[in-house]
Structure 1
Amino acid sequence: MVALNPFPRRSYTDGPTPLEHLPRLSAELGGPQIWIKRDDRLGLAQGGNKTRKLEFLVADALSKGADALITVGGVQSNHCRLTLAAARAEGLDCHLIVEEDLGPEGVGLGPAGANPPEFTGNFLLFDLLGADSVRVLGNGSDLLGEAEALAESLRAQGKSPYVIPVGGSNPIGALGYVDCAHEMLTQFAEAVLQPTNIVTPSGSAGMQAGLIVGLHAAGSDIPVVGINVSRSRVDQEPKISDLVDSTAHLLDLTPVPRERTVALGDYVGTGYALPTPGMTEAVRLIARTEGILLDPVYTGKAAAGLIDLVRQGRFGTDDTVVFIHSGGVPGLYARTQAFA
């Protein structure tokens, strides 16, 4: 196991998140035994995988004397919600720069204001949690460039802002999932469980990269299969590999073999956050068999990928698959038309 104690860290969750067997889903699919890692139960407002990243990112910000956080994402960004919740827990200012959703066919709808966000889901929570500012830009805008410009403006006012990239996905943020890999290996040993695969949503890449690095550091060869939510395989895998390399370098580890990075792009549909029939089926199936809610953007599409891979025979009856629930359920209430 790699030592993470040299890195400053805050604590937002009381103990490990549950690892649960899904017997009814497993029986329904007639394939592998499926388990779920419940990172939807992480701390901060409504939980989700970004909480693990923020434990390291916010600690880094505080160690550098920051008094304000700036981050970016979509109008229904789980990461923005949790960054804002962490800022409230720490007494920091927080500024959000978000982009409008794509249109229903996966194309932009013109200039900013053409597709205004609805006051529901995470966008509602931005207001309830009292963001110091929320700026909504058109889809495809240079969000990080705008964040850096805002940081310069705040510095001119005597503030000390700290900019967090989309999804909290940089080497510091990925440490949260290096730690999660260690947590899961301990749980596997306690449950006398020998997973043959871990399946995870793959978006901004910090979660998958951190898991790959953490397993590599522990000498585990369990494959991590990413199900892409926004990009093709050819576009996503280099993004993950770059973050794997930079995170391993930060931890002074031996290089991670390139073949450890697998991210399937068959389940994105017409674009990020746009519904697919497989997603709606997966959300309904897991809700009705196990009483567990998934979100339509990340875990819904990843579960659709898992279900399809079982039906294709890629995961068979001799396999044990662990699915990562990355949270995001507030987004479900902003996308109800997908289930109408």
Structure 2
Amino acid sequence: MQLARIPRRRYTSAPTPLEFLPRLSEHLGGPRVYVKRDDLLGLASGGNKTRKLEFLMADALAQGADTIITTGAVQSNHARLTLAAAVKEGLKCRLLLEERVPGSYKPEASGNNLLFRLLGAEQIRVVPGGTDLMQAMQEMADQAGSEGRVPYIIPGGGSNALGALGYISCAEEVLEQSFEKSLPIDHVICASGSGGTHAGLVAGFYGSHSGVPVTGISVRAEKVDQEEKLHVLANATSKLAGAEHEVPRGMITVRDDFVGPGYSLPTAEMTAAIQTFARLEGILLDPVYTGKAAAGLIGLIQEGVFEPQDNVLFVHTGGSPALYAYPDEVLAGDHA
């Protein structure tokens, strides 16, 4: 694979850290747990979408766009980071927010919703859950075009083949750090939502012949549907990167038993995971993505999925600004 041939902006000056979590590892009494700190990526408050936006924004600029249109949930990390990238490039940005939980959008809310306003979103349109988001974004693009703008649509999560190249890049970065540290990685855990991060990691590790397995912890979709979507996306991403072989279906693994009652809805395991990471390692997770992914990591360890000597890497995809919109949920009880 040859990513250097594909136009890319750079929003982060160096590789994100790959850190050992000694207190968490001891607490769980299982494998050695490491974390890939993609919460420290560039742009406003960081997060995994930054890697995707490096490729997507390069394409938008190449097409002469002056207005970016994207979509996400009402506390969307992707919307925050897309807006921040647009600001950095001197472009306007319009957001389509899907109210996946009825009544969850509050114009005065904190978290990412506050940052949408602070960063200067040109337009925020809120639609009910289940809306055809691509059609709605196309309507917004048509409106921008009628105003003399040049719009560019970025799908939810930045999770098309071009955006997912960012996580082929991340897989290559992890392997380089693994080599430098003489640290073999036995398993990778990540959140699995719109799919670009999970699919890109699978494509990257498979394309490099590393043999590193990836398990995605679903935050919304059921296992079968999510795995099928990811298989298609992983292969499209591999092809775009110049890979010679398709990613086998068996490389895609999703666990959907940590979603709880639904997307962004709290679970006791999520709350416990957030408190545990914060109080043992000083690392902030979010209640929608990384909190549930970390609950999945802890659950797999408790199930005995890993050997005590394994090195397990948790990919921290960011999202901590959302903590401030869910104070009651993340402080409930005392689980740590």
Q: Normalization by structure 1: what TM-score?
A: 0.95
Q: Are 2:296 and 1:305 equivalent residues in the alignment?
A: yes
Q: Are 2:125 and 1:135 equivalent residues in the alignment?
A: yes
Q: Are 2:57 and 1:66 equivalent residues in the alignment?
A: no
What do you get for the CA RMSD once the two structures are aligned?
1.1
Query: Which sections of structure 1, spanning at least 5 residues, go unmatched?
Result: 103-107
Residues 263-295 of structure 1: per-residue CA shift (max 9 Å, x gap): 110100011111101000000011111111111
- Other structure's SS at 2:287 match: coil
Question: Is 168-177 or 250-259 further displaced after alignment?
Answer: 250-259
User: 1:105 maps to which residue?
Assistant: none
Q: Give the one of 315, 320, 330 matched to 2:306.
A: 315
Q: Is the 8 A contact 1:100 1:116 kept in 2?
A: no
Residues 72-95 of structure 1: per-residue CA shift (max 9 Å, x gap): 001100000000000000000100
| CA apart distance, 1:5 | 1.5
User: 1:231 maps to which residue?
Assistant: 221
Q: Are 2:247 and 1:256 equivalent residues in the alignment?
A: yes
User: 1:197 maps to which residue?
Assistant: 187
Using the alignment, how far apart are the partners of 2:242 and 2:15 within structure 1?
26
User: 1:173 maps to which residue?
Assistant: 163
Q: Are 2:284 and 1:293 equivalent residues in the alignment?
A: yes
Matches within 5 A, 1:48-67: 48-67=47-66
Residues 134-183 of structure 1: per-residue CA shift (max 9 Å, x gap): 11112222222111011111112221100000000000000100111110
- Name the aligned partner's letter for residue 286 of structure 2: D
| CA apart distance, 1:115 | 5.1
Using the alignment, how far apart are the partners of 1:141 and 1:335 within structure 2?
25
Matches within 5 A, 1:1-340: 2-102=1-101, 108=102, 116-253=106-243, 254-338=245-329, 339-340=331-332
Using the alignment, how far apart are the partners of 2:67 and 2:188 within structure 1?
36
Q: Is the 8 A contact 2:191 2:290 kept in 1?
A: yes
How many residues were matched structurally? 330
- Other structure's SS at 1:149 match: helix
- Name the aligned partner's letter for residue 264 of structure 1: R
| CA apart distance, 1:117 | 4.9
Identity of aligned residues (%): 53
- Other structure's SS at 2:3 match: coil
- Name the aligned partner's letter for residue 246 of structure 1: A
Using the alignment, how far apart are the partners of 2:315 and 2:257 within structure 1?
18
Using the alignment, how far apart are the partners of 1:297 and 1:118 within structure 2?
19
- Name the aligned partner's letter for residue 293 of structure 1: L
Q: Is the 8 A contact 1:75 1:117 kept in 2?
A: no
- Other structure's SS at 2:137 match: helix
